[in-house]
Amino acid sequence: MEFKEVVGRRRSIRFFEPDRPVEREKIQKMLEAARLQSCAVNAQWARAVVSFRDDLKPDQLKRLLTPVAALNVEMAPVHIHWFNDLSIVNKIQGSRLRELVDVGALAPTHGWSHKFVDEFVYPQILKPMTEGPAYPVYSTFDVGMAVANALLAGVDEGLAVCMVTLNGEVLKEVFKTPAEWIPMPTILVGYPAENWDGGGQRPRPPFEELYFEGEYGKPFPRDPKVVEQLKAAKMIQEPARPHSPERIAEIKRLADKYGLPM
């Protein structure tokens, strides 16, 4: 698919084919996409534990279930649990910035050199940053970008994806992660049992409520011609309709197929 269609096609799919396995190479492609995402100071805070549902012990799977996401977790054959590794900056110090200097990504025209990294950037900016209360927020933003890349790569591979938030303490215990890793959302992965479009593109707030130009209160003007271009590229698709008879019929079919309440 073209990129714009991948963005438009992505849905949070909540009905997976529970007995259809996902090819390992497709999971790897999702992780590769996450690794290549832009990241501040090339630190790469994002970490993931891939869990194949059928490899979990029954008590482990039971512990992962939450009131909101239990059915989704049980149906999805693969779970990718994401974490934010808060220890990484002090482990690598300035080494990855020096790599960027060496390949010309950080150029001397902008003041970059090994000396600048070692004597200024790491000791005066990066290290103090890791000691401040906002540090988890900054690094979480970068993890989020990696996760978004993984989601889109999964869609491009024809997979169904859904992001859920599970119990962080349980995740750390079940998967024995380091103390410095902060649990983040989980991507559930499988093949869709429902129609891929899930009844249409999900409702979103109006464009003008979200984006501004110059200052708050001045909406960024939305050009109708651009909207039509994005519709043609399948990034903007048919919106979901409230109480759609087709969608209700599909949910009933799935409820009957998997013995679920309706």
Residue 32 belongs to a domain with what CATH number? Answer: 3.40.109.10
221 in any annotated domain: no
Q: What is the mean pLDDT of the chain?
A: 96
Residues of the chain above pLDDT 90, percent: 95
254 in any annotated domain: no
22 in any annotated domain: yes
224 in any annotated domain: no
Query: What is the spatial distance between Cα 97 and Cα 125, in angstroms, rounded to a whole number?
Result: 13
175 in any annotated domain: yes
pLDDT on residue 138? 87
Residues 6+ apart with CB under 8 A from 183: 81, 82, 83, 166, 168, 169, 171, 172, 177
pLDDT on residue 262? 82
The string of pLDDT tens digits covering residues 12-44 is: 999 999 999 999 999 999 999 999 999 988 999
Residue 45 CB coordination number (10 Å): 25
State the pLDDT confidence band at 118, using cuts at 50, 70 and 90.
Answer: very high
**Is 90 exceeded by the pLDDT of residue 66?**
yes
Q: Is the pTM of this model over 0.85?
A: yes
Q: What sign does the CA torsion over 97, 103, 105, 108 have?
A: positive
User: What are the CB-based long-range contacts (under 8 Å, 24+) for 62-65?
Assistant: 63/167, 63/170, 63/173, 63/174, 64/166, 64/167, 64/170, 64/171, 64/174
The total number of structural domains in the chain stands at: 1
Averaged pLDDT for residues 90-103: 94
Print the domain residue range for 36. 3-196
219 in any annotated domain: no
